[in-house]
Amino acid sequence: YGGNLEVVENGGQLHFLIEVVRGPTVHTGAIAGIAQWNQPIGWFSDKGREDGKEDETNLSFIHRNNQLEIIGANTEWYHGVRAYFDGRYVRIGDLSSDQQLRVMKAAASGEVPEGE
C-alpha cells in the first residue's frame, strides 16, 4: 500500500517518476514524465507519446499543506488494477545527484528504469 514519487523541479517544470504498489495482490504501476509547473499547480499529458494508445493520460499536481497531491485521469495504461497514482505524497528527503539524474532521464524519455 505504498508509492514513491521522485521529483526534480527545473525551469518551470516538474520532472517526475512515480512507482506504486497497492493491495495484497501486489498490483504495481509506474509512470515518468515532465509536468508544466505553475506553483502550486502542475499538469502532465502523455498525448502522442505512446504508440497505439488512444486515450490521453493526465496527472495534476497540487502543492498544499506541505503535501503534493496527485489526481490522475485515464491512467490505467501505466498500472494494474487498484495501483492508481492518486494520493497525497509527503517529502521525506532530498534526492542525491545520482537520483536527480535518474529522474531527469526517466522523465525525458518517459521510460521507467527497471530494477533500480
Q: Is residue 32 classed as helix, strand or coil in its secondary structure? A: strand
pLDDT value for 83: 81
pLDDT value for 3: 82
The burial of 7, by beta-carbon neighbours within 10 Å (0-12 exposed, 13-18 middle, 19 or more buried), is given as buried
pLDDT value for 52: 84
pTM reported for the whole predicted model:
0.90
pLDDT value for 115: 62
pLDDT digits (tens, 9 = 90+) for 20-72: 887 667 788 899 999 999 999 999 999 988 888 889 999 999 999 999 999 99
Strand partners, 64: 67
Q: Nearest Cα to 57, choosing from 40, 68, 69, 43?
A: 43
116, pLDDT greater than 90: no
pLDDT digits (tens, 9 = 90+) for 94-110: 999 999 999 999 999 99
